[in-house]
Structure 1
Amino acid sequence: MYVTQASWKSEIFQSVVGFLPDWAQGTALGVFVLAVLAAWAVKLKRKLAYHRAVRTGQPIPEAARGAQGRGADHLGSYAPRPRQDDTTA
């Protein structure tokens, strides 16, 4: 008989939940499931916004792209000044 072994993720989750009292184990499991469902919903919402923007020919929203931009995009007043090419040399 072939028995599959649990993944390392489920082993860690079971060991962490095993330390909790019985009344907290159900709550921890519920919070974990809620977090997974929320992450799935956000991912689905971004995917739908991306496809809707592509279909209508609109620019793709930043949140739908999933990109955070570059570090220089968030420097504000600390950003270096743009260089001006010196063509007189």
Structure 2
Amino acid sequence: MYVTQASWKSEIFQVTVGFLPDRAQIGALGLVVLAVLASWVVKLRRRLAYRRAVRPGQPVHAARYGQGRGADHLGAYAPQPGPDDTRA
């Protein structure tokens, strides 16, 4: 009968957790499960945000009247208007 061997990652994990007392083993396993679930949640949130961002037909946020450009709020660091700029 052919018995599959565990991967090197699971072997290292079993050896590492094997040195811990029983109560700490349960805590370590809980932390690993929590880390896996957290990574799944982060991936799902990123995927949903990406799908919302590329959804067609959504209105683009337009600047309100009098809001100006980003350079208008830079004060002394704003670029000076050139001769081809019609704004004052």
Q: Could you state the TM-score of these two structures normalised by the residue count of structure 2?
A: 0.62
Q: Which structure carries more relative contact order (alpha carbon 8 Å, separation 6+)?
A: 1
Q: Which runs of 4+ in 1 moved over 4 A?
A: none
Q: Which residue of 2 aligns with 1:72?
A: none
Q: Which residue of 1 aligns with 2:29?
A: 29
Q: Could you state the TM-score of these two structures normalised by the residue count of structure 1?
A: 0.61
- Change in 2 beyond 3 A, CA 1:57/1:43: farther
Aligned pair 1:18/2:23, yes or no? no
Unaligned runs of 5+ in 1: 59-89
Q: Which residue of 1 aligns with 2:2?
A: 2
Please, what is the CA RMSD of the aligned residues?
1.3
Unaligned runs of 5+ in 2: 59-88
Percentage of identical aligned residues: 78
